[in-house]
C-alpha cells in the first residue's frame, strides 16, 4: 500500500507517520518511511532551497517542489512499490495542490499540469489530518522558529486548509479526513489503523 499524510502546519503528520511506521514494523510489514520535500539526498538540498529567503518568486518555489517530487518518485517511491514494499509518505501531490494552488494561488490547471509532469504515482490512501489554523500554528510555533510557510498569513493557511477539504471531495476514493483538533495522538492513530485494516481487507 502507498499511504500519504497531509495537513496544514502543526496538524500532527510527523507523529502519525511515526506511529504507523512503528506499527508496521511490529507487524513485520516491510515499508519505506519517507517525506516531501527531502525524501532523497538531492531532495534534502531542495528542501533547504524551498525555505531559502532568497527565493523571490512563487513560480521557482513550485519548480523546486516539482523537482524534488520527480526525483523522489523515480528514486524511492516507484522502486519500493515495484518491490512490493509499503510506502508511507509525509506530504505528496496534495501538498502541491493545497499550498501552490490554494495558498500561492497559481492557476488550478498549471498545478494539475505540474503534478502530471512529475509522473507521480497515485496513493492508495491519503489521510488529511484536519486542525484549525489557530491550533496548527500554535503547535508549529511551540516547535521552535517558524519557517517561510509558517510565517505566511492566517488567510494563506485558511486557503490551504480549504484546498485540502476540496481534495477530500475530489478524491473521495482515497482521501480520509481525520479530526486532529482536540484528540490524543493515540486516539487519532486508532482511527488511522482501522481505516488501513479495512482498506487492506478490501484488497485481499
User: Which residues are at the interface with ligand TMP (CB under 6 A)?
Assistant: 9, 36-37, 65, 91, 95-96, 99-100, 149
Instruction: Report the nearest approach of ligand TMP to the CB of residue 36 (Å).
Output: 4
Q: Name the residue nearer to ligand TMP (CB basis): 9 or 71.
A: 9
Instruction: Report the nearest approach of ligand TMP to the CB of residue 12 (Å).
Output: 11
Q: Residue 33's beta-bridge partner residues?
A: 88
Q: Name the residue nearer to ligand TMP (CB basis): 148 or 193.
A: 148
Instruction: Report the nearest approach of ligand TMP to the CB of residue 200 (Å).
Output: 26
- Cβ–Cβ contacts within 10 Å for residue 151, how many? 11
Identify the residue whose cell numbers are 486548509: 161
Q: Name the residue nearer to ligand TMP (CB basis): 8 or 196.
A: 8
Q: Name the residue nearer to ligand TMP (CB basis): 91 or 161.
A: 91
Instruction: Report the nearest approach of ligand TMP to the CB of residue 28 (Å).
Output: 28
Half-sphere exposure of 149 (CA within 13 A, CB side): 25
Which residues are CB-contacts of 108 (< 8 A; sequence separation ≥ 6)?
A: 101
The angle subtended at Cα 18 by Cα 97 and Cα 10, nearest 5°, is: 50
Give the separation between CA 3 and CA 135, rounded to whole angstroms: 25
- C-alpha dihedral, 132 to 161 to 127 to 131, nearest 10°: 0
Q: Name the residue nearer to ligand TMP (CB basis): 47 or 174.
A: 47
Q: How far is CA 32 from CA 29, 152, 184, in A?
A: 10, 31, 25
Instruction: Report the nearest approach of ligand TMP to the CB of residue 7 (Å).
Output: 8
Q: Name the residue nearer to ligand TMP (CB basis): 139 or 199.
A: 139
Instruction: Report the nearest approach of ligand TMP to the CB of residue 55 (Å).
Output: 12
Contact between 159 and 7 (Cβ < 8 Å) = no
Amino acid at each position: 500500500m502507498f499511504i500519504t499524510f497531509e495537513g496544514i502546519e502543526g496538524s500532527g503528520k510527523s507523529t502519525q507517520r511515526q506511529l504507523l511506521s512503528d506499527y508496521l514494523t511490529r507487524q513485520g510489514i516491510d515499508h519505506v518511511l519517507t517525506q516531501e520535500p527531502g525524501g532523497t539526498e538531492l531532495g534534502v538540498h531542495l528542501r533547504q532551497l524551498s525555505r531559502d529567503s532568497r527565493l523571490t518568486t512563487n513560480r521557482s518555489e513550485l519548480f523546486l517542489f516539482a523537482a524534488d517530487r520527480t526525483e523522489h518518485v523515480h528514486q524511492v517511491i516507484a522502486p519500493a512499490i515495484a518491490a512490493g514494499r509499503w510506502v508511507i509518505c509525509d506530504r505528496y501531490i496534495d501538498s502541491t495542490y493545497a499550498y501552490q494552488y490554494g495558498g500561492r494561488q497559481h492557476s488550478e490547471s498549471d498545478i494539475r499540469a505540474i503534478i502530471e509532469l512529475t509522473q507521480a504515482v497515485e496513493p492508495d490512501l491519503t489521510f488529511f489530518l484536519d486542525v484549525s489554523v489557530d491550533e496548527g500554528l500554535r503547535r508549529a510555533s511551540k516547535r521552535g522558529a517558524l519557517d517561510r510557510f509558517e510565517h505566511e498569513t492566517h488567510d494563506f493557511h485558511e486557503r490551504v486548509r480549504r484546498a485540502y477539504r476540496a481534495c477530500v471531495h475530489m478524491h473521495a476514493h482515497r482521501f480520509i479526513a481525520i479530526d486532529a483538533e482536540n484528540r490524543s495522538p493515540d486516539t487519532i492513530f486508532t482511527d488511522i489503523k482501522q481505516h488501513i485494516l479495512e482498506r487492506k481487507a478490501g484488497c485481499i
